């Protein structure tokens, strides 16, 4: 498959598969917002709680789709999602956003998880560029100020994880039951970085740029293991490593996101340093994390692979990461790995019978039926963004080769 055919396939899945599904099946017309839970076979759990992350990811995805594809119907979804977040998740008294509301839009968990607040910045900045209006940017900047005031570690650098409604650091800092209860994590820093990247693109604010530069160097100097070229995952407040897990999806996702951040800043010296790291991460991911069938496996440790399941999001985050290294180097090996990941995804991760994508399949490509298609952690952001990135990058490659 050549790059043009690859691009056409990405666009078809994005518009006719992913975006169409979320527009047609997930809008809660009775209670507002989007349904908090839909099973793999499209059974809507109408009274499920609704998460800030899911709603912010939906807003970001449709705003980014509008910005790139210019279809008005996507902007209408953005307006709907934005209004719901402002009216139900935004803490107008203390600043920031709440973690969870019930199906009626009433707050049921008022904690301020920095990860979720970063996603609202990400979404509002993208939406502001779509609408060409300053109101969402002002809210995004207000949340930025709250994160910097309360969560940024002035002494040892980095960001703490979670706070109460009143911005008091919590004892239980975990994003989910699967995570370690540590004060600093790769995952939260990665999504602050992507949020600040988009906020900087939208505002060119010097403070945002300064903290974005700091985040990039923090990833290169502290979070990235420059012996193995894996990102370390969990730390205490003193940056002592508290885990030995390897998340192959986070590795390759982080590789292209830190490069995107450096490109936004326009710092050539920093960008060259980031590109070298991104390509090395890509090489290690190919060597260690890509299975014989072309999929990327979920997790490992220094001894080897520990989880061979193929989750939906690493497949396409890796695809973007390898396309990124293909752009950096022109080396066809990266393109071939990216293409195989996409072909694997189309064959095994897309839920053909019921629409959208499976959460995960096992090494024999048997889907997990217990995990939902729509939920607090399942939105159109990873797969939608990957399609948009692939389309954009192939269009850019086509222009450079004419």
The answer to whether 176 touches 236, Cβ cutoff 8 Å, is no
Kindly list the structural domains of the chain, giving each domain's residue range(s) and its CATH number in brackets, ordered by start. Answer: 1-399 (1.50.10.10)
Confidence of residue 177 (pLDDT cuts 50, 70, 90): confident
- Say whether pLDDT at 402 is over 60: no
Over 70: is that where the pLDDT of 357 sits?
yes
Contact 202, 137 (CB under 8 A): yes
pLDDT in tens, 1-15: 899 999 999 999 999
- Report the pLDDT value the prediction gives residue 139, as an integer from 0 to 100: 98
Take residue 294 and report the two structure tokens written for it: 């072309």
Question: Has residue 102 got a pLDDT over 90?
Answer: yes
Q: What is the model's pLDDT at position 29?
A: 97
Strands 230-231 and 360-361: unpaired
Q: Which residues of 134-169 are buried (b: 16+ CB within 10 A; e: fewer)?
A: eebbebbbebbebbeebbeeeeeebbbbbbebebee
Per-residue pLDDT tens digits for 40-63: 999 999 999 999 999 999 999 999
Q: How far is CA 289 from the centre of its chain?
A: 19
What proportion of the chain, given as a percentage, has pLDDT over 70? Answer: 100
pLDDT at 386 over 90: yes
Mean pLDDT of 139-157: 98
What's the CA gap between 141 and 345, in Å, rounded? 37
| pLDDT classification of 173: cutoffs 50, 70, 90 | confident
What size, in residues, is the chain? Answer: 402
Q: Answer whether residue 367 shows pLDDT above 60.
A: yes
CA-CA distance, 275 to 256, in Å (whole number)?
9
165 has a pLDDT exceeding 80: yes
Longest CA span, the chain: 57
């Amino acid at each position: 498959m050549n790059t043009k055919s690859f691009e056409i396939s990405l666009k078809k899945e994005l518009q006719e598969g992913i975006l169409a599904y979320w527009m047609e099946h997930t809008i809660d017309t009775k209670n507002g917002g989007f349904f908090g839970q839909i099973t793999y076979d499209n059974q809507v759990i109408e009274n499920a709680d609704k998460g800030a992350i899911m709603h912010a990811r939906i807003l970001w995805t449709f705003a980014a789709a509008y910005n790139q594809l210019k279809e008005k119907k996507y902007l209408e979804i953005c307006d709907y999602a934005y209004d719901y977040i402002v009216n139900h998740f935004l803490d107008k008294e203390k600043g920031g956003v709440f973690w969870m509301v019930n199906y009626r839009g009433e707050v049921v968990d008022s904690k301020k998880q920095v990860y979720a607040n970063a996603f609202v910045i990400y979404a509002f900045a993208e939406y502001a560029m779509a609408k060409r209006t300053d109101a969402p940017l002002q809210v995004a900047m207000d949340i930025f100020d709250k994160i910097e005031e309360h969560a940024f570690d002035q002494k040892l650098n980095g960001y703490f994880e979670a706070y109460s409604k009143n911005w008091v650091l919590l004892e239980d800092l975990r994003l989910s039951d699967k995570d370690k209860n540590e004060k600093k994590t790769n995952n939260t820093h990665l999504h602050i970085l992507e949020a600040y990247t988009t906020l900087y693109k939208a505002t060119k604010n010097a403070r945002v740029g300064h903290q974005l530069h700091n985040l990039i160097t923090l990833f290169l100097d502290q979070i990235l293991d420059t012996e193995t070229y894996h990102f370390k995952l969990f730390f205490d407040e003193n940056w002592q490593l508290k885990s030995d897990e390897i998340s192959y999806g986070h590795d390759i996702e982080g590789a292209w996101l830190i490069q995107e951040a450096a490109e936004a800043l326009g710092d050539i010296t920093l960008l060259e340093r980031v590109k070298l790291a991104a390509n090395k991460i890509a090489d290690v991911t190919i060597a260690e994390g890509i299975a014989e069938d072309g999929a990327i496996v979920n997790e490992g440790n220094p001894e080897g692979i520990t989880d061979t399941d193929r989750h939906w999001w690493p497949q396409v985050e890796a695809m973007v990461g390898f396309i990124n290294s293909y752009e950096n180097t022109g080396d066809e090996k990266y393109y071939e790995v990216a293409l195989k990941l996409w072909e694997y995804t189309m064959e095994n991760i897309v839920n053909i019978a019921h629409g959208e994508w499976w959460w995960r399949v096992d090494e024999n490509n048997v889907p997990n039926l217990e995990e939902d298609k729509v939920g607090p952690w399942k939105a159109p952001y990873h797969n939608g963004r990957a399609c948009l990135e692939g389309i954009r990058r192939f269009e850019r490659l086509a222009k450079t080769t004419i």
